[in-house]
Amino acid sequence: MNTYHATHSVGPNFAFELLVRRLELNKVYKFDRSSLVFLMCVAKPIRSSTLKRFLELTQPFGLSQEEIAPGYGLAKNCIYVRSAYGEDKPILINSQGRACCGYINPNDKDVDIRIVDPEKSKEHEKPKKEGEVWVSSLSSGVGYWDMEELSETTFKNKLENHLGNQYLRTGDLGRVIEGKLFITRRIKDLIIVS
């Protein structure tokens, strides 16, 4: 920021945690955020405690909640899916301490996000119910190289009430509450030990 006067920047939660640690150690750090318009925290999980502490430490530099947006994305969808930015609202935290990472418009033709029962591949009819996040977007990938069967089950899913759309199974569980997306966890967490 100080050197290149960036206007937009994106980082995962652990980068914000690193900044918090550095700012706590160096109380006289100079942070020129005069050019900053948009700062997004992405990657799972987004920890509300990290965002809260980051805001506390950067308020002396003039950073406000209106410039920070928790977001949701994944590599299979060219990284970005949605963010909670642009509505002049504070960062929203649900009762489980999860940050809202996107505003959902059910009539958005560009990015259609649905919460689906992962075992039945059917959209949940009840609002606020946890399920797998499915995304239909022109930014979604088309498949995995030389892995046709896995590509079909991951990138080419259909929902009966949304004919014409092809959905990406994200592997993330979440819920939509009053038009706000909250990611709750992964369907299966994988740790690779080499």
Tens-place pLDDT, residues 92-114: 888 888 899 999 988 898 999 99
pLDDT tops 70 at residue 192: no
pLDDT of residue 118: 93
- Please state, in angstroms and as integers, the Cα–Cα distance from residue 156 to each residue in 81, 86, 121, following that order: 17, 31, 12
More confident residue, 78 or 176: 176
**Number of helices (H) and strands (E), helices first, in the chain?**
3, 9
Domain map (residue ranges) of the chain: 8-186
Residue 79 exposed, middle or buried by CB count within 10 Å (0-12, 13-18, 19+): middle
In terms of DSSP bridges, do strands 168-177 and 79-83 run parallel, antiparallel, or are they unpaired? unpaired
SS in 3 state form for 78-94?
Answer: CEEEEECCCCCCCCCEC
Which residues pair with residue 175 across a beta bridge? Answer: 182
Q: For 68-78, b where at least 16 C-beta lie within 10 A, e where not — what string?
A: bbbbbbbebbe
> Dihedral through CA 134, CA 135, CA 141, CA 142, nearest 10?
70
Task: Assess whether pLDDT exceeds 90 at residue 149.
Answer: yes
Q: Which residue has the higher pLDDT, 89 or 21?
A: 21
Fold annotation for 8-186? Rossmann fold (3.40.50)
Considering only residues 88 and 138, tell me which one the structure prediction assigns the higher pLDDT: 138
Give the helix ranges, DSSP H, for 59-180.
148-155
